[in-house]
């Protein structure tokens, strides 16, 4: 046989589209070419595959070798195609049974010795394999979870009635990457240490059979401990604001002098959020797995916390490159994106956040390809009130002129601030407050998270989403306050000159405060608290 077909998958930011690796051996001058829009990493696999086959004792065909990666219009990257290319060459040259490659998927980077190196995207690839099933079919859940079908269509037989059960899809990966892929239900994951052991398994050699990898034992909660709110000294108003933000999924801006605890508070927001559901855990893990930062089993059910430096570019923050790659806002999907020293970011970079913060998704378009990435993260930002950080300090340490301070604040546009629900000014702690730490112990994150979870449950039962995600009509139906609260809100809107977006965001925050209190509708006191969370920036 001079033609072999091997199935694999390409990394694509949380998705793993199927790639068919076709290997053809023909007579003619010896050559080795790869077609199908491969990048440099894939083209270099020619040398790795040749050396690996020779060093493992296989015969490398001295023929004209053509490898086609289909579909041809999908860009291919990474060294994961080394293994399927090598297996295709072995099958096409008759060194392993070609039928052993049917209904199986393979991926892995080869070393020159034939060992299989760890690869990124193993979890995302397992999700794609489970969704696609075998050649006979499969089913995908509405949120990306995998549901294996109970049966599949069989090849037409004499009476056209036989319908054998669907075989669980099989995925073969490097042994070091198999554990994370085994977390995905509905797929049998096999880990191989090197090319000879995998070929022996495919040839059904005695005592060489590989066994499916068992998923690591992980609990229903994140296994990595999160920073605890009990470590925060004082800052009662800020802790309350973060509780409201966590309950409703609201974006937050913390404004205060150096050392006030802004970064410390931000790092504790993920610990207040409700545990991830199965679908959310799968979606988050798939995105991290397909990205260049990778995914580890210890991160299972842990909400992402991304804190890019203020020198980050727009492509790093929201996505870019060619082909499009996800940015920090996508890597923080279903978690928290923390932007410290917010005005130090380039203004053009910050403006790219406006649409994804509103829509929860971002579309990156290039001439040859368009990619749609999820970006449903919760933004928490921190900043100083002026370049030196001491504006308003009673000790008179600030040396910024009003013009310098105003220029600093103008780096944040009105449309961006409009999308941040809670804007809170945090004062510096006094020596007396620091000394009285033991007498004013803060609540632990677990206690606050219990209240947040109850408020989230009320929202999901009532409207199936968080309060931040409500649209205009839903806000009118769900967030309407009582008569006194409505009058107070109307007066505040006229006094502070709020836009329609700001007006509705205050209503959403008031609805969240009412949910924390278990109230049927927001009262005047709850509306007043929501208004206070909107005034800090205007007071600077």
Q: List the domains of the chain with CATH numbers.
A: 3-152+161-202 (3.30.230.10), 229-469 (3.40.50.300)
Sign of CA dihedral 253, 259, 263, 265: negative
Supply the angle between the helices 236-248 and 500-517 in degrees, to the nearest 10. 100
pTM as predicted:
0.82
Q: What is the reported pLDDT for 298?
A: 79
Q: What is the reported pLDDT for 283?
A: 86
Phi-psi region at 314: left, alpha or beta (left = phi > 0; alpha = psi -120 to 50)? alpha
Half-sphere exposure of 466 (CA within 13 A, CB side): 23
Measured between its terminal Cα atoms, the distance across the chain in Å is: 76
Strands (E), 243-369: 252-255, 305-306, 319-320, 325-326, 336-339, 361-365
| 158-to-161, 162, 426, 477 alpha-carbon distances in Å | 8, 9, 78, 61
SS3 139: coil
Q: What is the reported pLDDT for 143?
A: 32
Task: Give dist(CA 365, CA 358) in Å, integer.
Answer: 19
Name residues of the chain where pLDDT drops below 70: 1, 12-14, 133-166, 218-224, 368, 437-441, 536-540
Contact 303, 270 (CB under 8 A): yes
Contact 347, 307 (CB under 8 A): no
SS3 60: coil
Nearest Cα neighbor of 388 from 380, 396, 377, 379 is 396
């Amino acid at each position: 046989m001079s033609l072999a077909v091997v199935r694999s998958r390409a990394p694509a930011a949380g998705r793993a589209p199927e790639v068919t690796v076709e290997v053809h051996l023909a007579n003619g001058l010896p050559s080795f070419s790869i077609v199908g829009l491969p990048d440099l990493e894939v083209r270099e696999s020619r040398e790795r595959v040749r050396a690996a086959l020779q060093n493992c004792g296989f015969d490398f065909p001295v023929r004209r070798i053509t490898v086609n990666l289909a579909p041809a219009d999908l860009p291919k990257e990474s060294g994961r195609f080394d293994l399927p290319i090598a297996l295709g060459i072995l099958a096409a040259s008759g060194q392993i049974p070609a039928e052993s490659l049917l209904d199986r998927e393979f991926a892995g980077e080869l070393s020159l010795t034939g060992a299989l190196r760890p690869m990124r995207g193993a979890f995302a690839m397992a999700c794609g394999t489970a969704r696609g099933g075998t050649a006979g079919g499969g089913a995908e859940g509405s949120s990306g979870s995998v549901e294996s079908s109970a049966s599949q269509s069989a090849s037409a037989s004499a009476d056209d009635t036989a319908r054998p059960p669907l075989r669980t899809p099989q995925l073969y990966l490097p042994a070091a990457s198999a554990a994370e892929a085994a977390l995905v239900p509905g797929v049998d994951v096999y880990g191989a240490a090197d090319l000879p052991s995998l070929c022996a398994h495919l040839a059904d050699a005695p005592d060489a059979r590989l066994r499916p990898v068992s998923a690591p034992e992980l609990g229903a909660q994140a296994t990595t401990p999160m920073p605890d709110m009990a470590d925060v000294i004082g800052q009662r108003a800020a802790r309350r604001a973060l509780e409201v933000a966590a309950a409703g999924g609201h974006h937050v801006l913390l404004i205060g002098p150096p050392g006030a605890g802004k970064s410390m508070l931000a790092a504790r927001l993920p610990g207040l959020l409700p545990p991830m559901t199965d679908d959310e855990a799968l979606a988050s893990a798939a995105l991290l797995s397909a990205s260049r930062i990778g995914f580890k089993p210890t991160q299972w059910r842990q909400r992402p916390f991304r804190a890019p430096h203020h020198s980050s570019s727009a492509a790093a923050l929201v996505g870019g490159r060619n082909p499009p790659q996800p940015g920090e806002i996508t890597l923080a999907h279903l978690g928290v994106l923390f932007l410290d020293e917010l005005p130090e970011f380039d203004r053009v970079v910050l403006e790219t956040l406006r649409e994804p913060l509103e829509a929860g998704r971002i579309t990156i378009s290039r001439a040859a390809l368009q990619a749609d990435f999820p970006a449903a993260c919760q933004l928490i930002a921190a900043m100083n009130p002026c370049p030196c950080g001491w504006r308003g300090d009673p000790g008179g340490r600030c040396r910024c002129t009003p013009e310098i301070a105003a220029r600093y604040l103008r780096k944040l546009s009105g449309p961006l601030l409009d999308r941040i629900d809670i804007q809170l000014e945090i004062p510096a702690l006094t020596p007396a407050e620091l000394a009285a730490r033991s007498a004013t112990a803060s609540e632990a994150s677990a206690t606050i998270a219990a209240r947040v979870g109850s408020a989230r449950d009320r929202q999901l039962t009532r409207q199936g989403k968080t309060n931040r995600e409500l649209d205009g009509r839903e806000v009118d139906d769900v967030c309407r306050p009582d008569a006194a609260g409505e009058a107070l809100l109307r007066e505040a809107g006229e006094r502070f000159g709020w836009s329609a977006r700001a007006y509705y965001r205050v209503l959403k925050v008031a609805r969240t405060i009412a949910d924390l209190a278990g109230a049927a509708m927001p009262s005047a006191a709850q509306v007043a608290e929501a208004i206070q969370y909107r005034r800090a920036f205007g007071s600077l």
